[in-house]
Amino acid sequence: MDVKIGLECHAQLLTRSKLFCSCSTDYHNAEPNTYVCATCLGLPGALPVVNKRAIRYAIKIALALGCEVQEETIFYRKNYYYPDLPRGFQITQYDFPIAFKGLVRIESNGGKEREIRITRVHMEEDPGRLAYKGTIDTSKYSLVDYNRSGMPLVEIVTEPDLKSPKEARIFLGKLRSILEYLDVFDGDLEGAMRVDANISIEGGNRAEVKNISSYKGVERALLFEITRQKNLLRRGLNVQLETRHYDEVRGVTLSMRTKEFEHDYRYFPEPDLVPICISDSVEAVKQEIPELPDEKRKRFLAQYSISPEHASSLIYDPHIADYYEDVASKIDPRLSATWIADVLKGELNYRSSSMREASKRISHDDFVTILRYLVQGVITERGVTAIIRAMLDKGGKPEEIIKIKGLASMGSEETEKIIYSVLKDNKGVIEDYKAGKKEALNFLVGQVMKHTRGRADPKEVSRLLRDTIETGF
Ligand code: ADP
Ligand code: MG
Ligand code: ZN
């Protein structure tokens, strides 16, 4: 059965002030209800003034997604009441959004390229935030914080082109990457991206799961929906056209209400704002668009001759891409790719740390120094990993850590001594090896590594062991 998924992605823009007032957007560490004014609280008579930078950011996003930016854009009122929306309407867009018709390329299963069409890009204000003790189900009361009210959002709507929950997650990753390249979005901020996920299965209606705030959450909610909808269809029942809520804790979706339609909202043009001509700004905004992920990936492949997997991994986060280029300009680009994509990125994930934070602890020059020590044989691969971990955790300089932790590679004389003593103690194992039991060598390597405490290179040890056994000792 064919699965169709379309996403409505709401991204918070990194402007300094809100969309229609001068309140600060930097509310993530603020006390609730402190970054508010008459406008974003929706008090009667307060008037909105559009944030020009927010409009430019939205145009930038639309261009980067290959959309057709419109001549003119108009804000509309979407009327509904909810405690997080004290005005009784949200200022959003309708028939005259910023742009229509774009395209995002994703690498789906097995690196297969897929094109996901973008329906439209429009702007709107964020409502306030409701907080529950526990979950929306179990909480006896709701708390409301209007600091978020009026935050500038860009909504990016896709066609129902995604075919699986995994593709949805990959798409969101790609979108995040593009928005971060544009320097208009920070995916690390809590709630920076919220998604409404629409999903249908061949022969059934679609359900819309509202307001999912994590990438994993989108994938999980969609997986749950596939099972739920398939079960209904299998039993000959209808999938209701409805709006559902995702319970992050239990990993299930719950029915919230029957699907609302456009006429329910009584859209009409916002009379307190004039239509805005945007086509005039397009040329200037185009100049601000940097090299985007797809182009960077192509360039990395050509310029550094790295593997396609490494290229994809390195370009995802623009801070990592820049860091890589700084390192690769000073030492073997392929070696740099391996250590940054396979090791440094893993260590960052493990610590939930960002490259921006990490680069304060390991500058790219430090990283070059560490790799140089490896190439010169001063330290082993295990030494490199140990230094990276130590620097991420506590800072410091490579030389100090090599000294303090005793990471300097063993001289070959010292290593040979240990090899001899291990061979002496394991005559039986040598016989096994000679009799054709190849695993016996691994055991001996392990013994030697134990005695050198990782300060010897396992490949080198393996080679020395083989030579020594063959030539006799
Ligand atoms: P609404 O605004 O009422 O939610 P839209 O037509 O604007 O409806 O569509 C919203 C989202 O639903 C879009 O991302 C679109 O791709 C998706 N969508 C539309 N039809 C389907 C479908 N049959 N299955 C899955 N997603 C769909
Ligand atoms: Mg919708
Ligand atoms: Zn305000």
Report CA(198)–ligand 1 centroid distance (Å): 6
**DSSP secondary structure code for residue 138 in this structure:** T
Whether 224 and 231 have beta carbons less than 8 Å apart is answered as: no
pLDDT at site 418: 84
70 lines ligand 1 (CB under 6 A): no
pLDDT at site 473: 63
Two tokens, residue 96: 């005259």
Report CA(25)–ligand 3 centroid distance (Å): 9
206 lines ligand 1 (CB under 6 A): yes
Query: How high is the mean pLDDT in each 10-residue block of the chain (473 residues)?
Result: 96 98 94 97 96 98 98 97 94 98 93 95 96 82 95 98 97 98 95 97 94 95 97 94 91 87 90 97 97 98 97 97 98 98 97 93 96 91 94 93 80 78 88 88 89 79 84 71
What gap in Å lies between CA 48 and CA 87, rounded to an integer?
Answer: 12
Tokens 């229509």 correspond to what residue?
Answer: 100
What gap in Å lies between CA 458 and CA 197, rounded to an integer?
Answer: 49
204 lines ligand 1 (CB under 6 A): no
Tell me the domains of the chain and their CATH numbers: 3-286 (no CATH), 295-405 (no CATH), 412-470 (1.10.10.410)
Burial environment of residue 258 by CB neighbours within 10 A (0 to 12, 13 to 18, 19 or more): exposed
Query: Which residue, among 383, 454, 380, 451, has the nearest Cα to 419 in the 3D structure?
Result: 451
In sequence order, which residues have a C-beta less than 8 Å from that of residue 28 and are 6 or more positions away? 189, 190
Whether 213 and 194 have beta carbons less than 8 Å apart is answered as: yes
147 lines ligand 1 (CB under 6 A): no
198 lines ligand 1 (CB under 6 A): yes
Candidate from 101, 198, 259, 264 with most ligand 1 atoms within 8 A of CB, to mutate = 198
Report CA(33)–ligand 2 centroid distance (Å): 28
Report CA(158)–ligand 1 centroid distance (Å): 8
The 10s digit of each residue's pLDDT in 175-206 is 999 999 999 999 999 899 999 999 999 989 99
For every residue of 332-366, DSSP letters joined together read -HHHHHIIIIIIIHHHHHHTT--HHHHHHHS-HHH
199 lines ligand 1 (CB under 6 A): yes
Two tokens, residue 325: 């280029």
Ligand 1 atom closest to Cα of residue 159: 16
120 lines ligand 1 (CB under 6 A): no
Helix axes 458-471, 412-425, angle to 10 degrees: 60
pTM (whole model) above 0.85: yes
